[in-house]
Chain A
Amino acid sequence: MSETSTGELPLYEVFIRSKNGLHHKHVGSLHAADDEMALTNARDVYTRRSEGVSIWVVKAENIVASRPEDRGAFYEPNDDKMYRHPTFYNIPDEIGHM
């Protein structure tokens, strides 16, 4: 079994699809020796109350995440670009809730 330097098994992130047609949603994380064990552990830890119909597990180290310090460059320039939101259209009443 592969272990990290701290002696813990590798960390995996778990994504569950609760119903067909919906997308997978991050539900939490767990430790497992390999992909197969991560999948069965995810089943045992996160779907015991019928939460899902499909599971994705991915090694946490394989996830590329944005860093908090990138916040300014990544997100703030969009704050003043209201025209990118489709809020300037009049929606006919018969459309109802969109």
Chain B
Amino acid sequence: MSVSVAEMTEQDQLFEYTVRLGDNCVILGQRLAEWCGKSPVLEEELALMNVGLDLLGQARMLLDYAGKVEGAGRDEDKLAFFRDAQAWRNLLLVEQPNGDFAKTMSRQLFFDCFQFLQYQKLSNSADTKLAEIATKSLKEITYHVRHSSDWVIRLGDGTEESHQRMQKAVDELWGYTPEMFDMDAVDEAMLKSGVGVDLKEIEPAWKKMVEGVLSEATLNFPELTWQVRGSKEGKHTEHLGYLLAEMQFLPRAYPDANW
């Protein structure tokens, strides 16, 4: 991955672009799976697992396709379990730890709204496979948005403590959100060829969507006092390594294990 964008072929760019989409789904799906057995109530545990499994399903389609685009013999499992942190392209937002339930829901709301808008555009992609995956996933994402919005509103407009926790969660994660709308050379090239999405264009819609939920939740729209980015070059927060260590241990210890 040390190839500069100028040297990338169209195939390399499509691979990179698809991996970015897929990695978001793997990592957030894995984070949600961490709630298994620890959720506040049984009903919500099932809901979180449903969302997580939806994301894993999307990840499988995307990484499977990425592997085929690459043509180097890496399948979805190879890509998910045999890449180190620097080779991952997921947004910094989705690798952030679960924290309390408010933080999990805040992260989810930010991502769900982003993914909803991104996939709406992606469903018109010139790449028919990506368009197909986006169209199929949109129904799931529509439900995810509803689920996370409901919770943010409930907790924000709930008790004094839930309001406080929700506001804190939103504030803490806010600095990870600008990265979602960064356009690097790969994004620009993919946009030009009609495959990719103009992330700058969806930013105002995202803000409007999130603002609507926050205001209904009686929460303040956070001010951007700091921001971090870097996932597009494989620069991640320290949390990703721990997540990967847990997720990848088994296939690395027992490669090609079957069950």
Residues of A within 8 A of B (CB): 1, 9, 30-33, 36-37, 40-41, 43-45, 48
Do most interface residues of chain B lie in helix, strand or loop, or is the interface mixed? helix
Residues of B within 8 A of A (CB): 41-44, 46-47, 50, 143, 146-147, 150, 154, 158-159
Contacts of B44 in A (CB 8 A): 41
Contacts of B159 in A (CB 8 A): 1
Given known contacts A31-B41, A44-B46, A44-B47, is B150 in contact with A1 (CB within 8 Å)?
no
Task: Check A44–B50 contact: CB distance below 8 A.
Answer: yes
Task: Check A40–B154 contact: CB distance below 8 A.
Answer: no
Contacts of B42 in A (CB 8 A): 30, 45
| A45: min CB distance to chain B, Å | 5
Task: Check B41–A37 contact: CB distance below 8 A.
Answer: no
Task: Check B146–A9 contact: CB distance below 8 A.
Answer: no
Q: Which of A31, A43, A44 has the most CB of B within 10 A?
A: A44
Task: Check A40–B150 contact: CB distance below 8 A.
Answer: yes
Task: Check B43–A30 contact: CB distance below 8 A.
Answer: yes
| A28: min CB distance to chain B, Å | 11
| B151: min CB distance to chain A, Å | 9
| B24: min CB distance to chain A, Å | 22
Given known contacts A1-B154, A33-B154, is B147 in contact with A40 (CB within 8 Å)?
yes
With CB as the reference atom, state the residue of chain A lying closest to B159. A1
Contacts of B143 in A (CB 8 A): 43
Contacts of B147 in A (CB 8 A): 40
Task: Check B150–A37 contact: CB distance below 8 A.
Answer: yes
The CA-CA distance from A32 to B44 in the complex, in Å, is 10
The CA-CA distance from A48 to B57 in the complex, in Å, is 14
With CB as the reference atom, state the residue of chain B lying closest to A38. B43
The CA-CA distance from A44 to B52 in the complex, in Å, is 12
19 A-B pairs with CB atoms under 8 Å apart are: A1-B154, A1-B158, A30-B42, A31-B41, A31-B43, A32-B43, A36-B150, A37-B154, A40-B47, A40-B147, A40-B150, A41-B43, A41-B44, A44-B43, A44-B47, A45-B43, A45-B46, A48-B46, A48-B50
Contacts of A45 in B (CB 8 A): 42-43, 46
The CA-CA distance from A86 to B43 in the complex, in Å, is 45
Beyond known contacts A30-B42, A45-B46: 12 more, CB 8 A cutoff: A1-B158, A1-B159, A31-B41, A31-B43, A33-B154, A40-B150, A41-B44, A43-B143, A44-B46, A45-B42, A45-B43, A48-B46
